[in-house]
Amino acid sequence: MSSPFELVAKKGLARGGVLATAHGAVQTPVFMPIATSGSVKTMTGDEVKALGSSIILGNTYHLLLRPGPDILKQAGGLHKFMKYEGPILTDSGGYQVFSLSKINSTDEEGVTFQSHIDGRSIRLTPDSSLEMQAAIGSDIMMQFDDVAAGNSTRERYEEAMERSLRWGKASKEAFEKHVRHDALLFGIVQGGTYEDLRQRSAEGLKEIGFDGYAIGGLSVGESREDTFRIAKKVAAMLPEDRPRYFMGGGMPEEIVYYVSVGVDMFDCVLPTRNARHGQIFVWKGDPKECVREAFTRAQEGAVDFRIAEAFYEKIQMTSEKTIADFSPIDKFSDCQTSLDYSRAYLRHLFKAGEILGLRLATAQNIRFYLRLMEELRAIVRE
Nearer to a second copy, 236 or 339 (CB): 339
Q: Are strands 244-246 and 24-28 parallel, antiparallel or unpaired?
A: unpaired
Contact between 277 and a second copy by CB under 8 A: the answer reads no
* Shorter beta-carbon distance to a second copy: residue 95 or 341: 341
Sign of CA dihedral 307, 313, 316, 319: positive
Closer residue to a second copy, CB minimum distance, 38 or 110: 38
Select which of 139, 264, 267, 304 is catalytic: 267
Is 239 strand, coil or helix?
Answer: coil
Write the DSSP assignment of 85-142 as a string of letters: -S-EEE--SHHHHHHH-SSEEE-SS-EEEE-TTT--EEEE-HHHHHHHHHHHT-SEEE
CA 317 – CA 323 distance, rounded (Å) = 9
332 and 286 Cβ atoms separated by less than 8 Å: yes
Binder among 5, 31, 61, 81 for a second copy (CB under 8 A): 81
Q: Residue 306 or 348: which CB sits closer to a second copy? A: 348
**Of 11-19, 60-68, 128-136, 302-310, which segment contacts a second copy by CB under 8 A?**
60-68
Q: Using alpha carbons only, how large is the chain's radius of gyration in Å? A: 20
d(CA 168, CA 146) in angstroms, rounded, equals 10
Residues 6+ apart with CB under 8 A from 38: 58, 63, 67, 78, 81, 82
**Candidate residues 176, 324, 327, 331; the one interacting with a second copy per rule CB under 8 A:** 324
Shortest CB 210 distance to a second copy, Å:
31
Contacts with a second copy: how many residues (CB under 8 A)?
34
- The reply on whether position 105 binds a second copy by CB under 8 A is no
CB of 358 to a second copy, least distance (A): 6
Residue 67 CB, nearest approach to a second copy (Å):
5
Give the per-residue contact string, 355-374, with a second copy (x = CB under 8 A; - = no). xx-xx---------------
Out of 62, 242, 343, 367, point to the residue binding a second copy (CB under 8 A). 62
Q: Which positions from 128 through 157 interact with a second copy, judged by CB under 8 A? A: none
Q: How far is the CB of 347 from a second copy (least distance, A)?
A: 8
Question: Cα–Cα distance between 198 and 375 in angstroms, integer?
Answer: 30
How open is the CA angle 227-228-234, to the nearest 5 degrees?
85
Is 267 noted as a catalytic residue in this protein? yes
With binding defined as CB under 8 A, does residue 41 bind a second copy? yes
Quick one: angle between helices 287-299 and 355-381, nearest 10? 60
Provide the annotated active-site residues. Answer: 91, 267
Q: Which residues bind a second copy (CB under 8 A)?
A: 37-39, 41-44, 62, 66-67, 71, 74-75, 81-83, 323-324, 326, 337, 340-342, 344-345, 348-349, 351-352, 354-356, 358-359
